[in-house]
Structure 1
């Protein structure tokens, strides 16, 4: 009688634990399903591709429930130890193999939630990759560089890199145009030429505030940054509507400023070395 009572108690305990596991698994399945569906809608991908996430979570909950049951019932404890020891090795192998993929998926969800960049933004990832974001999936991000090549970067890698986003709030950008002139050049004239050429370029934008305009501050500011061993460094700060216009404007201005410098007799800096030749004593004796 006592044996039958223990059996029914153990059975009732197992049923309760499994029932709780089923309820928790269903709740988590619904929550994860909604999260994946929302992320997939923003990424414009098929959410059914990521149903394995819901299935994996549900499977883990059932495994935990079985561990609790086998560990709590003395007669099943010995069988459970051998069973879950073998299952633990298999789970470790599968977990290690899927760790990278799962990390990329979680990173993709974080990108959608926190939005460090979006499709169409111009970004620089670390020090190596620069281009326009063409596509974002739950596993990787596709960036089209300026040579029209596609760079596929795992999301986990992007989350660990510093991202420079030129389009996060607005695309207007201040580009620096630096030129070194020789020490004997007319610095004021060189600065004036740089300012004039920048103002004449169609991509040059006026980013001054109303107060700065009223105070008479220039639309393009040119400053002398300093002196090096061979050059007087000049820098013009020029605003453009977007990074593409800024790049094209820089290329055009280098050409036009070089032409103006040549016409005005302003020489660019170049490395110079003074070499002293010592007369040998042999030559003197001869």
Structure 2
């Protein structure tokens, strides 16, 4: 019995597809084995490369086998001969290449980007990494699409012009958002402060509780949340009370009546400062406290006591403790604390 040529061609085509599938399964086994071995090494580059090429190569093997089957054995109906156009083959290779490149860049960003993001406080840099993942994917696939369209002699100038106009429109509409976004990036890179620091930006003063892609939030001493756009932070002077360390110099002005002994006043102020250092945990011994006779005022003599608090959030406690002792000591030693007064003389 003679087998028709068309049947033999179909058998050969089917065998080609089957062998292609088997070869793809073997490739999958090899990729899994290589992936296991790569996981045992210290470097991550082999993991990234194997993960990027694994699935695209398997798909390419099956599709190439299918293409060989329908192109070499003449089983394709006349109405579908356009599939054999070499341009489609080239487009397929471009798709596979874009797939591999996109996966490769995506895995690099995921592995190394998140590692860097984990080293900083806050979660907005993780969101930045996720945004970068999407941008890379879209850029690679958009470029692949443009190349494929040019292969098929499609005029891509309108697409590029439209993309440029759309990008310009989006940039203008999102100018503030983009400005805040880059401001957040500058804050993350420059690190003028971190979460938990007490800072002053413009007229705002408080503790940093979050650093986001668009804004930074402070909790004021009144327990109010202030949201400041990042572009405003990067264009203003920032005072960080937690850097380079957490100690804070506190200035305590003291006035006494004329006739008081300046030397004795300074001795009392330093004694009070030393007692506070000894009996509380508010003040530092080094730098040492200092007292100065600063000026003659209208109603008395002005002195200034300088002390150093252990932490920037203790000024109220320090002032309360020291001022209370000053009032008690002055009262005990008969030192008068002046108050503003005016003498009026009537001329007859």
Give your verdict on TM over 0.5. yes
Q: Distance in 1 between matches of 2:100 and 2:107?
A: 11
The structure number with the bigger radius of gyration is 2
Q: How far apart are residue 181 of structure 1 and its match?
A: 2.1
1:174-253 superposed matches below 5 A: 174-201=249-276, 202=280, 203-208=282-287, 219-253=288-322
* Partner in structure 1 of residue 240 of structure 2: 165
1:262 maps to: 331
Q: How far apart are 1:238 and its partner, in Å? A: 0.9
For residue 206 of structure 1, report the CA deviation from its aligned partner.
Answer: 0.9
Question: In the TM superposition, what is the alpha-carbon distance from 1:242 to its structure 2 partner?
Answer: 0.7
Q: Deviations over 1:198-236 (max 9, x none)?
A: 11111232115xxxxxxxxxx421111222333322111
1: distance between equivalents of 2:244 and 2:189? 17
Shift of 1:112: 1.8
Deviation at 1:189, TM superposition (A): 2.4
Contact 2:249 2:307 (8 Å CA) reproduced: yes
Query: 2:258 aligns to what SS in structure 1?
Result: coil
Pick closer, same or farther for the CA change 1:273–1:44 going to 2, 3 Å: closer
Matched with 1:275 is 344
Q: 1:269 to 1:63 in 2, by over 3 A?
A: farther
Cα deviation, residue 65, structure 1: 11
Following the alignment from structure 1 to structure 2, what is the Cα–Cα distance between the partners of residues 264 and 163? 44
2:173 corresponds to 1:97? yes
Change (3 A) 1:55 1:83: same
CA RMSD of aligned residues (A): 4.0
* TM superposition shift of 1:248: 1.0
Aligned partner of 2:120 in structure 1 is 42
Measure the CA separation in 1 of the matches of 2:308 and 2:170: 53
Distance 1:99 1:56, change over 3 A: farther
- In structure 2, relative to structure 1, the CA distance for the partners of 1:54 and 1:193 (3 Å cut) is same
Specify the alignment match of 1:136 in structure 2. Answer: 211
Pairwise mapping of residues 104-123 of structure 1 onto structure 2 (< 5 A)? Answer: 104-121=180-197, 123=198
Distance 2:293 2:143 in 1: 69
State how 1:22-33 maps to structure 2 within 5 Å: none
The verdict on how the C-alpha distance between 1:38 and 1:104 changes in structure 2, with shifts beyond 3 A counting, is farther
SS at match of 2:180: helix
- Shift of residue 40 of structure 1? 6.5
Query: Normalising by structure 1, what TM-score?
Result: 0.68
Could you say if the C-alpha distance between residues 256 and 89 of structure 1 is closer, same or farther in structure 2, counting changes exceeding 3 Å? same
Change (3 A) 1:157 1:64: farther
The 1:80–1:147 alpha-carbon spacing in structure 2 relative to 1, beyond 3 Å, is: same
Give the conservation status (yes or no) of the 8 Å contact 2:121–2:194. Answer: no
Unaligned runs of 5+ in 1: 1-20, 68-74, 209-218, 280-286
Find the residue that maps to 1:125 and give its secondary structure.
strand
- Summarize the Cα distance change of 1:139–1:80 in structure 2 as closer, same or farther, 3 Å threshold: same
CA contact (8 A) 1:186 1:266 kept: no
